[in-house]
């Protein structure tokens, strides 16, 4: 059985409660140990790790700045040697210290990855290679994903998603004929790693955002080339359906909350834009759906309802009603929903007592 990772404070609370139940004679000592052995403390960012990470970033930037400022005075052979030596040297030093000083070792790996990324751009400049900047970020991401997986480091994989964000958005900005299809290889690989890493929340959020960003860009790129009319409505409608699907997609429990939240955000944002294209019937139907979600306890739906009301207020009433009215309406809505949730909670407590 795979142990469930929980925060340290949650594990301590659980341990305290198990001790209480053992003392009260509800469970035996063996049962207590058996239950506690199904959990493990989730590794978190310590103060030392934060200091070392910031130190690694500063050192890496300092070294790169020094090399860059003296770059023109160095021979090509020396330049290339410095880059390769920097990458291998810091990664090798990190590997040697991994067992005895794991946090320091991790910071050395970070410096090595910074030099690797800077080295890509410097080598292009050194040998006059004509490569678009987005492809350079793709090469950088290739190195970070391999090192991140080897070290089992979530921070490096988060950095990988950032590099891929720049790659795909940069590709579309450059309007290339070669589309960023490499992302279609990276995404499955990263989702596979997500499972291997036991679904860390920050990585899940950034990876889902990267996947949504990719779909949005590809839709806006290819739909107008296939269909001659109503391109924007079609793209927004597809994204709206995608958001609804994400909100109810059966995913592993560890990523369910984040994935469903991102789904609600996606269909909420696209619905606001769709109200400019569809009749008021769409807005009314969507509002009813949101009220259904609120009744189910969805807090994000309240924010979407407020945004929807604000959208129509700005559209129809801006010239006729005082601006303060929007704050009054928003305040009344929030207080009303707050009262509703408190009433529901109080009702639940009463039923529980009964």
> Mean pLDDT per segment of 10 residues, for the chain of length 354 residues?
70 81 82 82 65 74 68 74 86 84 84 87 79 86 91 90 91 69 90 86 92 91 84 92 92 87 93 90 91 82 82 67 65 72 64 44
Backbone angles phi, psi at 4, to 5 degrees: -85, 125
CA-based angle 34:37:40, to the nearest 5?
160
Contact 262, 239 (CB under 8 A): no
Q: Which two tokens stand for residue 234?
A: 């079609």
Q: What is the DSSP string of 268-337?
A: HHHHHHHTTTS-HHHHHHHHHHHHHHHHTT-SHHHHHHHHHHHHHIIIIITTTS-THHHHHHHHHHHHHH
Dihedral (CA of 335, 341, 344, 345) sign: negative
CA 253 and chain centroid, separation: 17
Q: How far apart are CA 328 and CA 320, in angstroms?
A: 15
- Which of 184, 152, 189, 154 has the alpha carbon at shortest distance from 171? 184
């Amino acid at each position: 059985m795979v142990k469930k990772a929980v925060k340290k404070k949650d594990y301590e609370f659980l341990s305290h409660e198990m001790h209480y139940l053992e003392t009260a004679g509800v469970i035996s000592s063996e049962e207590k140990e058996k239950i506690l052995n199904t959990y493990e403390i989730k590794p978190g960012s310590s103060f030392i790790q934060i200091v070392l990470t910031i130190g690694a970033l500063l050192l890496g930037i300092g070294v790169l700045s020094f090399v860059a400022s003296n770059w023109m005075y160095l021979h090509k052979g020396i330049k290339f040697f410095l880059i390769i030596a920097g990458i291998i040297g810091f990664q090798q030093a990190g590997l040697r210290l991994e067992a005895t000083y794991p946090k320091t070792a991790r910071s050395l790996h970070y410096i090595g990855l910074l030099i690797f990324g800077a080295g890509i751009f410097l080598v292009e400049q050194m040998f006059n290679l004509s490569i678009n900047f987005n492809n350079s970020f793709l090469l950088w991401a290739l190195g970070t994903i391999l090192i991140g997986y080897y070290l089992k480091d979530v921070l490096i994989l988060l950095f990988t998603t950032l590099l891929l964000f720049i790659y795909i958005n940069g590709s579309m900005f450059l309007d290339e004929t070669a589309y960023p299809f490499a992302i279609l290889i990276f995404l499955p690989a990263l989702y596979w790693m997500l499972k291997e890493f036991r679904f860390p929340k920050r990585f899940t959020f950034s990876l889902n955002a990267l996947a949504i960003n990719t779909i949005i860009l590809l839709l806006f790129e290819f739909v107008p080339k296939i269909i001659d009319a109503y391109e924007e409505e079609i793209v927004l409608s597809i994204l709206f359906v995608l958001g609804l699907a994400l909100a109810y997609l059966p995913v592993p429990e560890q990523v369910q909350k984040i994935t469903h939240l991102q789904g609600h955000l996606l269909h909420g944002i696209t619905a606001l834009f769709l109200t400019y294209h569809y009749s008021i019937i769409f807005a009314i139907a969507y509002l009813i759906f949101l009220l259904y979600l609120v009744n189910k306890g969805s807090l994000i739906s309240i924010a979407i309802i407020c945004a929807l009301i604000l959208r129509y207020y700005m559209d129809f009433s801006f010239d006729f009603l005082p601006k303060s009215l929007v704050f009054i309406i928003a305040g009344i809505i929030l207080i009303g929903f707050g009262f509703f949730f408190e009433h529901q909670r109080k009702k639940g407590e009463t039923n529980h007592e009964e």
